[in-house]
Amino acid sequence: MTRQRERYFELYEDDFGLSALTGRPASATAPDVVRALECAAEMAADCEGEGAVELGTDIRCLLDSGLPDGTLRAAWPAATHERFDPADFGMDLRTWLTRLADLYPARRRKRRQVYWPERPHPALAEEEVREAVITEIRVATSLPATVPEALEDIAREADGDLGFRLLLRILKAWTVPVAKEQYDRLMELDTKLDYPGPLVYDGLDIQWPPIDPTRPDRSGDFGFSALAERFSGYRGEPTAREGLACGAAADDSAETPGTAAAMLFEDASRLLNSPLSADTLSTLWLTVSGRGLDIDQLGIDGRDWLRLVAEVSEERLRDVAPSYTPAVGPVRTALTQPVLAAIGEATPDLATRTVSAHRLGIPGAAAVDALREVVAYADPDLGYRLFLRLLNVLSVPLTMTRYAGYRVLGEQFGYGADHVPDAVEHPDPPHVTHPTHHPVQTPLTMDCDLSGLPDAPERPPAQAGGDSLRRPHPSRVERAARQDAAAAHRRGGREAARPGRCHRPRRGA
């Protein structure tokens, strides 16, 4: 049996299916059959009952594969960290799985309701998944004896997706060190399979390299410009300091923990060390954040605000990277003139607009003057990132030529692939028109015959994954938009914080 692929990050916050079930006994103390069945029921009830669909599919994939009991017996205790062995209760693994299959039969999920336009599901052949998973199994070190061969057999003969999740479960259960290079590959596969990011990185013993603010491991914005975006639309909940703490903790899933704080500290320090006046710094913040936090109305001048940014960043670094000493590297001035030229070219569009025109408006010309000072006297890299933010705040339309030039300049600064595309509004290519109605994309169905299986109940996608300190992996912006849209629909339009997650401060509904 081969599974019907879904956008799992819309359904689950973390692991799911049989791999999630093996993790529950692993975290308990020698559970008996009754407790193991309770764990299965809890897992099946996950996501308003959607968990039973993946659990049933995983079990059926194993039972239909014809794998010998020895293979199953090698993988199961490794995944449960030897906390639950059905043999201790008079059952072999196949009997145990059959008992679970009777409780949670394989079934297909009805076509779900879609609340947003979707990109087509990535075409990922089952054989490609199997080979990628087998490669990672062979790279993994320090796995218990007989486990690698068993995992390979599961990936090859039963299901590549399940083999991948069982590999991750075993790596975590046995605290196997994972090199950063392998972790990046695991995250790439996670993205291709549309899994929630925490399914890989939560609990994984990643061998992180030292923090290096100059190494662009993330694909999107960072530092002071990312903080300004985080505060856009701010209305005071959470508090400003809490919002800063979340911004300092917003490490990308590809980054060493503490990197976001190090880059934010560096940006704030460059501005503090510059000759820019407090009024100029206030204008800079108010414009690039779209007056997200009215520091002028709160009696906070620009320099005091930057000192608080630096202070909160240092607190985060002391917490997660106590051996790291925050420092400010040399400014790269080679691109000063290209950045000033880009600002100059856009000035006619910026200067005729007003930031926060509906309330305490700030002329775009004042923002342009502040940006020029940042580029000339603080840091052209930071100045360029804030320039991109201002283009977004003021909704400046771009031509294809200008947009392409911005991307080239971003590449010269070493920005990630998503930085410029996510920062500004995309221009329309020539002769492209947008249809009024967006077609609904159906989930990619692999080569399996699910006819005759009972239908799972139709449910809207449940709240998607992410934790407090790590952003989702690539495609995070599109995924976050989908997740927020689905969550807002389920809450009747009300915003609600996800447990344990730092949110970008936003306006209340």
The secondary element (H helix, E strand) that includes residue 459 is: none
Reduced to 3 states (helix: H, G, I; strand: E, B; else coil), residue 427 is: coil
Strands 206-207 and 354-355, sheet pairing? unpaired
Dihedral angle, C-alpha 43, 49, 51, 57, nearest 10 °: 120
Which amino acid, 297? Q
Q: What is the distance in angstroms between the CA of the first residue and the CA of the last residue of the chain?
A: 45
What is the Cα–Cα distance from 119 to 182, expressed in whole angstroms? 28
Q: Which helix (H) or strand (E) holds 289?
A: none
Return averaged pLDDT per consecutive 10 residues of the chain, 509 residues in all.
77 93 72 88 87 93 92 93 88 92 84 56 79 95 90 95 96 95 95 93 95 87 96 79 94 94 97 97 97 92 97 97 92 95 97 93 97 98 98 95 96 93 76 37 34 39 35 40 40 32 34
pLDDT at 87: 86
Cα 257 to Cα 209: distance, rounded to the nearest angstrom: 10
Contact status, residue 244 vs residue 308, Cβ threshold 8 Å: yes
Q: Using one digit for the tens of pLDDT, what is the confidence trace for 136-182?
A: 999 998 888 899 999 999 999 999 999 999 999 999 999 999 999 99
Burial 476-505 (b: 16+ CB within 10 A, else e): bbebbebbbebbeebeeeeeeebeeebbbb
| pLDDT value, residue 119 | 57
Distances (CA, A) of 506 to 2, 229, 391: 42, 10, 19
> Using an 8 Å Cβ cutoff, are 72 and 97 in contact?
yes
Q: Residue 3 carries which side chain, given as an amino acid letter?
A: R
What is the rounded (10 degree) CA torsion for 80, 81, 87, 90? -60
Confidence (pLDDT) at 131: 95
* φ, ψ dihedrals at 38, nearest 5°: -65, -40
- Token pair of 20, please? 């999630």
Cis peptide before 363 (omega within 30 of 0): no
Check: CB of residue 382 under 8 Å from CB of residue 270: yes
- Residue 121 is predicted with a pLDDT of 57
pLDDT at 88: 87
> Which pLDDT belongs to residue 227?
96
Taking the C-alpha atoms of 163, 167, 173 and 174 in order, what is their torsion angle to the nearest 10 degrees?
140
Three-state SS at 83: coil
Environment class of residue 299 by beta-carbon count within 10 Å: exposed (0-12), middle (13-18) or buried (19+)? Answer: exposed
